[in-house]
Amino acid sequence: MRKKMRHLVLAASAGATGLVLIAAAGTANAADRPAAGTEKAATGQAAAPLAAVDQLVGWATQNGGTTGGGSAATTTVTSASALTTAVGATAASVIRVSGTISCSGMLRVRSNKTIIGNAGSAIVGCGLNVNGDKNVIIRNLTFRGWDDDAINVQTSATNIWIDHNTFSDGYDGAVDIKRGSDFVTVSWNHVFDHDKSMLLGHSDSNASQDTGHLRVTYHHNWFDASTQRHPRVRFGNPVHVYNNYYYNNSGYGVASTEGAGVLVENNSFEGVADPYHLGEADSGPGTLVARGNLLVNSGAGQTGGSVASIPYSYTADAAGAVKSAVTASSGAGRITL
């Protein structure tokens, strides 16, 4: 009988920002792990999730950490023009979105911003574009009907945290990360009524800019009958996909392509015929290691190769606890900010 994964509670500093994370190391002895791609985790639900719902974990804790606007002055916006001005300002700030803001296109977000949705807030018709900037937090917002991407991170943008947002019925990607961007965490989001969820790396021909970058953590997201790209990965290694809940995804769950290295760990797949695979469309294969996943009425998945080690501490909840934890706590309105 395979031994249970051991969780060691420890503290990890996020660098010079002063942010301290209390996490559980999601590691186990190699002898305790099942063969890659063969495991079906126990179906019993844990008494309570180990992961902290409001905590920054993953790649965005690296490279000095991610604090957004920090303790800078807070401004509340209620219109598209006010939101555009606030996110485009050069000074550090905390921006609260109140009510429903209707807009079009992509709004440029500059460095050192925290953008938080108040209860019931929504951005409808447009998206946020972090283009070459750094240290940005986007939390607790509902995005609907965007005409490009809902959130686009590109051109070597670094240290971005996208957390507790809800995405539905948009044109292109819910969260797309590309063009050499790095040190990003995408956590506790809910995607439904949507096709192309999360793209990592936009083009097979962009290896020179992307190789050595595109390091992203995706954890505790709810991919709720969304079709594909959960995520679709090019070049990034290691990309960490853990503790997400996949439900009735008609296309596929995770694709590792163009030399990417993806660790797919302790996720819950329900009704997903193609939970993870190598290569996609015209893109050549990457590598993918799968361990601890729960596969319910789902395919076996495709694995191959090795993935670089994860450098940060994190909580790996048992896969059997993921569905209840994620459906209870993902998406906008599930935390108090």
Q: Are 229 and 199 in contact (CB under 8 A)?
A: yes
Q: Which of 229, 232, 234, 291 is an active site residue?
A: 229
Is residue 229 annotated as a catalytic residue, yes or no? yes
- For the chain, the three-class secondary structure string (H helix, E strand, C coil) is CCCCCCCEEEEEECHHHCCEEEEEECCCCHHHCCCCCCCCCCCCCCCCCCCCCCCCCCHHHCCCCCCCCCCCCEEEECCHHHHHHHHHCCCCEEEEECCEEEEEEEEECCCCEEEEECCCCEEEEEEEEEECCEEEEEECCEEECCCCCCEEEECCCEEEEEECCEEECCCCCCEEECCCCEEEEEECCEEECCCECEEECCCCCCHHHHCCCCCEEEECCEEECCCECCCEEECCCCEEEECCEEECCCCCCEEEECCCEEEEECCEEECCCCCEEECECCECECEEEEECCEEECCCCCCCECCCCCCCCCCCCCCHHHHHHHHHHHCCCCCCCC
Distance spanning both ends of the chain, measured CA to CA: 43
C-alpha of 104 from chain center: 24
- Radius of gyration over every alpha carbon of the chain, rounded to an integer in angstroms: 18
Distance CA 210, CA 335 (A): 34
Catalytic positions, written as ranges: 229
